[in-house]
Copies of this chain bind each other. A is one copy, B any other.
């Protein structure tokens, strides 16, 4: 029996069988996606223990779902019936930070914020900063190719992953990638693993590229009456060729929810707030801040200014980061993650408003608006099945609109379970067939997070 084999191959404290605890690992933060109870939860302490778990699952043809902190928003870490859930919360070593070569080697369970703090102490910077950075893990960030606030200038997780150690779908422990600045030795299997949501291998170690710590940022804030006007301001910034180090949207629903929770004394004067930053040094930074301010004013900001109060600016960014958990306290959230071309952002925001009105759904908005990545949050009263159906209908409409405008169904959260219908429409049959072929090649027994990202079916 699987559990006996796992117990025989691992120290006793690695297995969790208490039903209450097992139940707490049944799903991530995508409350809308289906999930089941795992047969058992395992918490390996080493790569070799991870390998033992994969081999036991192979032996018994048991599905294996790997998860970090469970902060995913698409159901990618939701358990499937009778599966093993492998939790990385005992794999938390920062093994190495090389200041001269500027890379770090970490285990997958290291929390994003902990790595960033460790780097900051050495004058280094790990840029990817999802809103979940105080809780989410580097392993989970890699599995979903997480984005964040600074991506608009500095790129996403994939841009920082140099190498991985992985247990493959055939139970081998291998190293992919490199530690050098450049390298083209064979296929980019490292990049293929990034964003594959645990369906192609189980990550046991990650080597990330670091940057030198950067200069202090300047903040520009603007208030707008509508999301569309704010979208026009963001599109104007992109069109001028200014590269802000952050360009975020947060609306008054989110600010109110955060304020209600944390009593931060946030302004309620604006319907929509845009928060921009530039980290360019000296005169260039001044010039960029002035350009951004001009874009805000031209687009009809009711108020806009370069912040002279660092504490106030930090509070606004903190509120942006807390928007999701704050709203989640008010009822189940269905979270979109569409990404559209920057010039299509105003139209996309108008269509989101229209979808909310059409289906009678309350939609709050936060967005990494500088790269067109929008997170309309569809809020429903708990237990209201009719509201839930309306929200689902609005969700599908928003996805259609994003595809219609040349966008994608997921900018940074991953496909998981929630975005599979949209994914099939975005990719088409030919590209889905390639996905199935690659999945079958690297996970021939289909044990790795089966049913996630796309329905597997039979490879062509």
> Which of A172, A441, A444: most chain B CB closer than 10 A?
A441
Query: Which residues from B are CB-within-8-Å of A406?
Result: 179-180
A186 in contact with B431 given A180-B339, A442-B438 (CB within 8 Å): yes
Which of A110-118, A143-151, A261-269 is the contact stretch? A143-151
Query: Are B186 and A188 interface neighbours, CB within 8 A?
Result: no
Query: Are A179 and B241 interface neighbours, CB within 8 A?
Result: no
Query: Which residues from B are CB-within-8-Å of A423?
Result: 185-186
Q: Is A410 an interface residue (CB 8 A)?
A: yes
1/0 contact trace for A392-428 toward B, CB 8 Å?
A: 0000000000000011111111110001001100111
A180 in contact with B407 given A186-B427, A192-B188, A430-B172 (CB within 8 Å): yes
A96 CB to nearest B CB, Å: 12
Query: Are B243 and A184 interface neighbours, CB within 8 A?
Result: no
Interface residues of A in 196-230 (CB under 8 A from B): 196, 200, 212
Query: Are B185 and A341 interface neighbours, CB within 8 A?
Result: no
Query: Are A340 and B180 interface neighbours, CB within 8 A?
Result: yes
Q: How many residues on A have C-beta within 8 angstroms of the other chain's C-beta atoms?
A: 91
Query: Which residues from B are CB-within-8-Å of A341?
Result: 101, 179-180
Query: Are A183 and B339 interface neighbours, CB within 8 A?
Result: yes
A180 in contact with B372 given A428-B174, A442-B438, A460-B170 (CB within 8 Å): yes
Interface residues of A in 371-397 (CB under 8 A from B): 371-373
Assembly CA distance A440 to B438 (angstroms): 9
Query: Are B145 and A184 interface neighbours, CB within 8 A?
Result: yes
Query: Are A100 and B343 interface neighbours, CB within 8 A?
Result: yes
Query: Are A410 and B184 interface neighbours, CB within 8 A?
Result: yes
> Which of A178, A428, A431: most chain B CB closer than 10 A?
A431
Q: Which of B182, B188, B195 contacts A412 (CB 8 A)?
A: B182
User: Which residue of the partner chain B has the closest CB to A423?
Assistant: B185
Query: Are B185 and A426 interface neighbours, CB within 8 A?
Result: yes
Query: Are B186 and A415 interface neighbours, CB within 8 A?
Result: yes
Query: Are A241 and B431 interface neighbours, CB within 8 A?
Result: no
Query: Are B435 and A438 interface neighbours, CB within 8 A?
Result: no
Query: Which residues from B are CB-within-8-Å of A373?
Result: 180-182
A399 CB to nearest B CB, Å: 11
Q: Is A135 an interface residue (CB 8 A)?
A: no
Query: Are B339 and A182 interface neighbours, CB within 8 A?
Result: yes
Assembly CA distance A151 to B406 (angstroms): 30
Query: Are B151 and A434 interface neighbours, CB within 8 A?
Result: no
Q: Is A331 an interface residue (CB 8 A)?
A: no
Assembly CA distance A192 to B191 (angstroms): 7
Query: Are B183 and A410 interface neighbours, CB within 8 A?
Result: yes
Q: Is A159 an interface residue (CB 8 A)?
A: yes
Q: Is A168 an interface residue (CB 8 A)?
A: yes
Query: Which residues from B are CB-within-8-Å of A155?
Result: 159
Q: Which of B100, B185, B415, B431 contacts A174 (CB 8 A)?
A: B431
Query: Which residues from B are CB-within-8-Å of A408?
Result: 178, 180, 182-185
Query: Are B438 and A371 interface neighbours, CB within 8 A?
Result: no
A226 CB to nearest B CB, Å: 21
Q: Is A105 an interface residue (CB 8 A)?
A: no
A425 CB to nearest B CB, Å: 10
Assembly CA distance A431 to B449 (angstroms): 21
Query: Are B430 and A437 interface neighbours, CB within 8 A?
Result: no
Q: Which of B123, B181, B412 contacts A371 (CB 8 A)?
A: B181
Assembly CA distance A340 to B101 (angstroms): 10
User: Which residue of the partner chain B has the closest CB to A174?
Assistant: B430
A298 CB to nearest B CB, Å: 15
Assembly CA distance A431 to B193 (angstroms): 13
Query: Are A174 and B434 interface neighbours, CB within 8 A?
Result: yes
Q: Which of B144, B151, B188, B235 contacts A194 (CB 8 A)?
A: B188
Query: Which residues from B are CB-within-8-Å of A284?
Result: 281-282
1/0 contact trace for A449-460 toward B, CB 8 Å?
A: 000011000011
A281 CB to nearest B CB, Å: 5
9 A-B pairs, CB-CB below 8 angstroms?
A99-B239, A102-B238, A145-B188, A147-B182, A155-B159, A172-B433, A184-B195, A186-B423, A189-B435
Beyond A100-B239, A434-B442, 5 extra complex contacts between A and B, CB < 8 Å = A151-B181, A184-B411, A185-B419, A186-B427, A282-B283
Give 9 closest A-B pairs by Cβ, nearest first: A181-B371, A441-B441, A212-B241, A437-B441, A191-B191, A183-B408, A174-B430, A182-B411, A172-B430
